[in-house]
Chain A
Amino acid sequence: MTAVLRAQGLGKRYRRRWALTDCTLDIPTGRVVGLVGPNGAGKSTLLNLAVGTLTPTSGTIEVLGGRPASGAAQLAKVGYVAQDTPTYAGLSIADHLRLGAHLNPGWDGALAQTRIQQLGLDPGQRAGKLSGGQRAQLALTLGVAKRPELLILDEPVASLDPLARREFLQDLMQAVAEQELSVVLSSHLVSDVDRACDYLIVLVESRVQVCGDIETLLATHFRLSGPRRDPTTLPADQQVITASHTDRQSTLLVRTEAPILDPAWTVSELTLEDLVLAYMSRPTAADRNVRPVLEVQR
């Protein structure tokens, strides 16, 4: 049992709308997982299901081998920093730390104190007076000092300026290195998190489009460009993710385990951003049935 998060046909419906559909995942422990997708794709829904603040409409989800929020032991294992890193505006930093100590059995008071000191924050200051970056750092401090096995962060850096973003990720990575922490963090921009993460989930329109170890993903996706060609004539082991054509040329983004041997193609590697954008811009299943992949050339 080494899965930090395991989902089987997981789905969540709000009234008529499915926010998450048929989600099947198996994420190993010790990873920093980037959950990437446009706004409204279902990222927060998936994270809330993992934390246990939402219950599934269909399927199952297991976090660190247990059902989310199923008891005190399970709650102690999972830390959660919600979107926009909320804190209590009227409470001081010291109050927040006291609250953390009372609410969490495994609370690491020394770690929390040290972090607040390193950040140069005044413990007497109210959270409402902190800058966005400082508030995010306070929320991270609470999440880390809880000493969870899994820390879940929903869009932690979206509202931060570049410097605060970098400082936040530096501190998060340091915590990962020190505490053998698994992390799942969501973002609508892959460039925000690509260096911090080693595992990726791309979620678009309530469905997981691609999921896996980032290095493996980069090693199995290529851009091919060459003379115009119908993608259906490619070898069976090359899965076309996106295709664009001019009257002479075809540019394909393919996923394949095998080397590409056809000399007609110019093969280039992708950046993580290219890869994510390809999956995001890929026509959804419904579109694909209507539109022919390549119209007949006259």
Chain B
Amino acid sequence: MEDFAHWLVRFQDIDRRYIYLAVAATLTLPIVLQLRMPQIPTPPTQAAFKAVENVPDEKVVLIAADFDTGTVGENGPQLRTVLEHLMRRKKKFVILSLIAPQGVTIAELYSRTIGEKYGYKYGRDYVNLGYLPGGAPTLERMGRSVWETFPTDTKRIPLSELPMMRQVRSAQDIGLVAIFTGSGVLPSYVQTFWAQFKVPLIEGCTGIIVPELFPYLEAKQLVGILPGLKGAAEYEALLQQNGLGMRGMVAQSVAHALVIILILLGNLGMWLSRRPSAQRL
């Protein structure tokens, strides 16, 4: 027994390389083995789902892809599942980004791949307006006149040549803004689309900035949130889809369990080392 306790004491100081190895294994194995776990959608995700359902048919959805490859692990699955939802309901959408030039490229790539399944065509069903620097003032200008702010799309095709854009002139033609980001861009959209043009907002964000968004949710400035990878998985559950979010969630689940086990082991080792008998050893 004493030997076992002595052995456990060593857990208070595990070499970090073993920890890294364990993390790598817990993150990759569930993804490689394609394990699945059930999901219970939480109210913020349910609200986001409902907001997408409620977009009027004659209006388009604005996809703000304000993320880059750094956070694509979380924002990617969120955007994919929301795009899937939009396409299932035959809703049209416009892509732009305020802070990340790469975001729009990623969003267009997803739209193209998912769109193949639903027969979505560029220019008729979705348009990529590209990267739009300038923050809230530029968004405000866009809300007043899309055509003046973006005379062409990201491929320099005039908006007049894109059939879908003939119906999209101002914020009045936008039924929902869906922001995907790992940064604090929300205030720009709240100040313009929510406050001035009364367009509802939802946000798919990285896990770390979720606490920052709850005040907006409580103030009803945000209708719904997809919190981190979990948000993507919950949204997929609502869509009854088996996507990247679900797969990633198993990895995240096991990794969280690993963290908890490591913390408990560390504490156990520390307590045992403080016992008088252990100190004699």
A and B physically associate = no
